[in-house]
Amino acid sequence: MGAPTLTKLFKIRGGVHPDDCKLLSADQPIETLPMPELLHIPLQQHIGAAAVPMVRRGEIVKKGQLLARSQGAISAPVHAPTSGRIMGVGGYPAHHASGLSVRTITLKPDGKDEWRDNTPPVKDPFTLSPEEISKRVAEAGIVGMGGATFPSAVKLNLRKRYALHTLVLNGAECEPYLTCDDRLMREQPSEILDGVALMARALGVEQVLFAIESNKPEAQAAIAEATQAHPNITMVGLPTRYPMGSEKHLVQTLTGKETPARGLTADIGIVVHNVATALAVHEALHHGRPLISRVVTVSGNAINQPRNLRVPLGTPLENLIEHCGGYKQEPARLISGGPMMGQPLPSTRVPVVKGSNGLLALTQDEIQAGHEMPCIRCASCVQACPCGLVPLEMAANIRAGSLDNSVNLGLLDCIACGSCAYVCPSHIPLVQYFNYAKGELASRQRMQHKQGETKRLAEARSQRMEAIKKAKREAMMKRKKEMEAKKKREAEATAAAEAQA
Amino acid sequence: MNEAPLISGPYTHARSSINRTMGLVMLALLPATLFSLYLFGWPAIFLFITTLIAAMVAEAISLRISGRPSRPFLLDGSALLTGWLLAMTLPPWAPWWIGVVGALLAIIVGKQIFGGIGQNLFNPAMVARVALLISFPLEMTLFNPPIPLFSAQAPGFLDSLSITFGNSDHLDAISSATALGHYKTELSRGLSITDITGGTDTLWQLTTGTAAGSMGETSALLLLLGGLFLLYKRVITWHIPLAMLGTLALCAGIFHLIDPDTYLGPLTHLMSGAAILGAFFIATDLVTSPTSIRGQLIFGAGCGLLVYVIRTFAGYPEGVAFAVMLMNACTPLIDHYFKPRIYGRDSKGEPLSYAEKGGES
């Protein structure tokens, strides 16, 4: 199918309008955070298999040097954010609500910030073949930087399996508070568009739509101006509505087409990439720089001076908070990401990773926590759900333990955007119910799989044992017979000898 | 699960709560209520207050028996609203015990027995009204014309106390029928509408509320204003009210066109009785109405149709309470069959497929 021409925007279902709180940090230019004392670089900062460490304790590394290589089809390598000495490879609390320990490389910066001998970048990366571009993107450890952290090269390779026609740049940044993409678009529009053009080349698509929500007029203007150098890239202003940045809903807004359930946007010929990812692609292909830092919005009313910081990956969050003047008041919640879909953080010791777009210290007044009351069936959640689900019924089924029913009602089509829980007058933690059910179903499935495997293996073992026994028995019988025959022969021989004698 | 620390977002919330929702509904009812209290004077005020207090007491006792925390549930405003709506549907000069029995029926039988807030199948206020109407038909159909507070004929404070709390035959002396009741009686005597119209309230009286009836049956204009306020505040959506009033008007219009002498016109139907109150405040009750848009349209249309059928062909002059309750009973069924279409799926729930894919899947 051909690329549709863009004439108008299409309406999506549901959605909410939370207070975007972006003014706290939107006017703060991106500032580079000073190098911390120690960097803790986890081996798993992406969706897929963890990277395999390539360095040992005590080793001296240069900035940009490969620390851990990717393994398997879906994975991403990890590079040194600065030069220094490897202090060890071991467990360190993860950037995750659980705070569980994950394998992490600890690097002590030497203060020289000395680059490795960068592979001489090709003068013009546009002469590279699509395969070569995605290979370099993979080698640079680039993952989806909007928070999903899916390895970008895998998405660039979708051209092999799908008939693609459009690349959509997701500059919606619909989560409240976050301004890191906004700042990047304002400050580095031409670098971003260069990365976009490279991605379009890798995907083999003609048309690029650069979508930005209307609450970022400066970013819209900057990108629109920069697109003058790129005739195939069009800036599209989006209405401000959460969850506009959900890629399936973004694509629907732009094209009017829904992505089939359980499918990818590639099913309708479209691939979506994040703004910061495009910049990382530009850095990797033009300058040979792997993904070793990212912009993080530090905000919330509990933070003294909200800012946008460019931070080396692996920097402990406490350094960011300290750099922003510490807390104004003790935060009621510390969140990684935006307030709608972000995760609570177990401690400020955890490091910044590739997907960390925000660090929010929220006050009691901001989180508006309420006492949970019974559902009054007001259907606010039904109106708010962008996926056409009936959250109140799904939650009631989960509460009653009928997880299968909740699946029939569409649990697995839920994108966990939190619009339902945001509007619920009874303050029912609907997303919590859904996540619980999804987790429980996954663990049941694993359990079932495990049981099946155990049964299969046990049966195989008993069959094997049986066969061994049988073989032994047969061997015994054979030997017995042989022995008997031998004895008989010997007896006969003796008898014959005696007879001769 | 409630005790587990919350690890899923969102970590922000719309400024919504049950109290706010209930509070907005009461705010929307306020103009019509105040005007009606003024029109019907002290007895109406006494009955109103008695009913509200009884509803709160019934709620408190039920919560205590069921072992729930009293404070959050008493303060959520739902019992107060139920009492309020019930009071709006009673004859304004009815004796105090009508209000008390009604409130007990509404809160205990209509709501708490089902499991409290959010669990009831039927609108509690309508359960009470229907039960009262069947049990005490005399008290529930004795209406008086409006005698505004401080007007010459208005009963004084003490007289009013005896009307509400004592044994007074004051009402019998001045009782008058509601417009719909009057039409019903006269039509059954074989008169035609044009004959009757002279002896009853004009459309203007019905609209402004200066006609006999229960508090919620009068001042259609102020109730409409309250309803529009609820729409504006997004406490309710337009689907149920519009479907209900539209269907009622459509039915009335068709029959009126066929035989204007036997069938009342659509405007009279809309402005008399509890049509407006029912459409904006009763049928839209969050707990007992369907959750999907399509479901709400069907529900509203069903209410409108039943109101017309009951008013026109059944024994009762007014049928909003019955109509809403009948449709309440259909709500689970409607919710089961009419769900929104899920993103990326067709109406049967199968993943979408595009012809362009050429049949591959």
pLDDT of B347 higher than 70: yes
Please report which helix (H) or strand (E) contains residue A282, including its range: helix A275-287
| Cα of B11 to nearest chain A Cα, Å | 5
Residue B173: its pLDDT value, please? 57
Give the integer Cα–Cα distance in Å for B194 and A205. 75
Q: Answer yes or no: are the C-beta atoms of B207 and B268 closer than 8 Å.
A: no
| Cα of B203 to nearest chain A Cα, Å | 34
DSSP B345: B
Residue B181: its pLDDT value, please? 77
For every residue of A122-164, DSSP letters joined together read -S-GGGS-HHHHHHHHHHTT-B-TTTT--BHHHHHGGGGTS--
Q: How sure is the predictor about B39, in pLDDT bands with cuts at 50, 70 and 90?
A: confident
Inter-chain residue contact B12 with A421, CB threshold 8 Å: no
DSSP A186: H
Task: Give me the helices (H) in B153-274, please.
Answer: 157-165, 170-174, 179-188, 193-197, 203-208, 220-232, 239-258, 266-271
Inter-chain residue contact A413 with B20, CB threshold 8 Å: no
Question: What is the tens place of the pLDDT at every residue in A46-65?
Answer: 999 999 999 999 999 999 99
**Other CB atoms within 10 Å distance of the CB of residue A482:** 10
Mutate to test the interface with A, among B1, B2, B12 (most CBs of A within 10 A): B12
Q: Which of B298, B340, B345 is nearest to A390 (CA)?
A: B340
| Interchain CB contact of B15 with A (< 8 Å) | yes
Helical axes A217-226 vs A189-203, angle rounded to 10°? 60
| Interchain CB contact of B286 with A (< 8 Å) | yes
Q: Which residue of A has its CA nearest to B8?
A: A432
Give the integer Cα–Cα distance in Å for A166 and A199. 11
Of residues B123 and B157, more confidence is placed in B123
Chain A neighbours among B 320-359 (CB < 8 Å)? 335, 339-345, 349, 351-354, 356-357
Residue B245: its pLDDT value, please? 96
| Interchain CB contact of B119 with A (< 8 Å) | yes
Q: Which residue of B has its CA nearest to A12?
A: B343
Which tokens sit at B22? 């209930």
Inter-chain residue contact B13 with A370, CB threshold 8 Å: yes
Inter-chain residue contact B344 with A259, CB threshold 8 Å: yes
pLDDT of B80 higher than 80: yes
Q: How sure is the predictor about B175, in pLDDT bands with cuts at 50, 70 and 90?
A: low
* CATH match for A22-32+134-299 among 1.25.40.80, 3.40.50.410, 3.40.50.11540, 3.20.20.60: 3.40.50.11540
Give CB contacts under 8 A, 24+ apart, made by B349-358. Answer: B349/A410, B351/A260, B351/A261, B351/A262, B351/A263, B352/A258, B352/A260, B352/A261, B353/A260, B354/A1, B354/A257, B354/A260, B354/A267, B354/A268, B356/A1, B357/A267
Chain B residues in contact with A431 (beta carbon < 8 A): 8-10
Residue A95: its pLDDT value, please? 87
Closest Cβ–Cβ partner in B6, B16, B352 for A423: B16
Q: Answer yes or no: are the C-beta atoms of A200 and A167 closer than 8 Å.
A: yes
Closest Cβ–Cβ partner in B15, B118, B291 for A368: B15
Question: Is cis: bond before A386, omega within 30 of 0?
Answer: no
Q: Which of B344, B343, B345 is nearest to A387 (CA)?
A: B343
**Other CB atoms within 10 Å distance of the CB of residue A400:** 10
The domain limits of chain A are 22-32+134-299, 381-473
Question: What is the tens place of the pLDDT at every residue in B251-267?
Answer: 999 999 998 888 888 88
Question: Is cis: bond before B10, omega within 30 of 0?
Answer: yes
pLDDT of B361 higher than 50: no
| Interchain CB contact of B199 with A (< 8 Å) | no
pLDDT of B243 higher than 80: yes
The identity of residue B326, as a single letter, is: L
Question: What is the tens place of the pLDDT at every residue in B91-116?
Answer: 988 899 999 999 999 999 999 999 99
Mean pLDDT, chain A, whole residue set: 92
| Cα of A139 to nearest chain B Cα, Å | 32
Mutate to test the interface with B, among A177, A255, A267, A270 (most CBs of B within 10 A): A267
Q: Which residue of A has its CA nearest to B2?
A: A372
Of residues A482 and B359, more confidence is placed in A482
Residues in chain A predicted with pLDDT less than 50, given as ranges, are: 1-5
pLDDT of B236 higher than 60: yes
Give the integer Cα–Cα distance in Å for B88 and A376. 22
Mean pLDDT, chain B, whole residue set: 86
Residue A410: its pLDDT value, please? 93
Chain B neighbours among A 85-114 (CB < 8 Å)? 97
The β-bridge relationship of strands A66-69 and A333-336 is unpaired
Question: What is the tens place of the pLDDT at every residue in B264-292?
Answer: 888 888 887 789 999 999 999 999 999 99
Inter-chain residue contact A368 with B12, CB threshold 8 Å: yes
Give CB contacts under 8 A, 24+ apart, made by A257-261. Answer: A257/B354, A258/B343, A258/B344, A258/B352, A259/B344, A260/B344, A260/B345, A260/B351, A260/B352, A260/B353, A260/B354, A261/A413, A261/B342, A261/B343, A261/B344, A261/B345, A261/B351, A261/B352
**What percentage of chain B exceeds 70 in pLDDT?**
88
Chain B neighbours among A 163-202 (CB < 8 Å)? 176
